[in-house]
Amino acid sequence: MDCQKDYVHQSDYIFKKEKNPYFQPIDDQQAKQLNLSGSQYFLNQCGIGGKILSTPGHSIDSISVVLDSGEAFVGDLYPQEQVLLYHDKILSHSWQNLISQGARFAYFAHYANERVNLA
């Protein structure tokens, strides 16, 4: 994603340090970059109705997928009920953006099989 390009190699040193023989850093010359503005078209070409949004909060390069059905896959984004605890305008804006883009339910990376209704 274009909003993640500056962070792709952020963890390379961790994997190199572990000396995993299967690790190979992403080759920037061969990687294809998807722009957020083209995400709806890309997903549609894959048979998925939805869009990808930049949702910084957990990290500056976080993204979420919002399906046309209203389901949102938000990864590590802090839950909506915790937003006030962080006093973070960026995190608040991410949730407002998700809801304004049609998110009605959220699935988090660390809450397996749990669907959270959004207000």
Other beta carbons within 10 angstroms of residue 68's beta carbon come to 13
C-beta of residue 36 within 8 angstroms of C-beta of residue 89: no
CA atoms of 28 and 110, how far apart (whole Å): 29
The pLDDT of residue 112 is above 80: no
pLDDT in tens, 40-79: 999 999 999 999 999 998 889 999 999 999 999 998 898 8
pLDDT of res. 93: 94
CA atoms of 113 and 2, how far apart (whole Å): 29
Taking phi first (over 0 means left), then psi (-120 to 50 degrees means alpha), and beta for anything else, what does residue 57 get? left
- How is residue 68 written in tokens? 């046309």
What amino acid occupies position 57? Answer: G
CA atoms of 98 and 66, how far apart (whole Å): 7
- What's the mean pLDDT when you consider all of the chain? 89
Strand 71-75, strand 105-108: pairing: parallel
The pLDDT of residue 3 is above 90: no
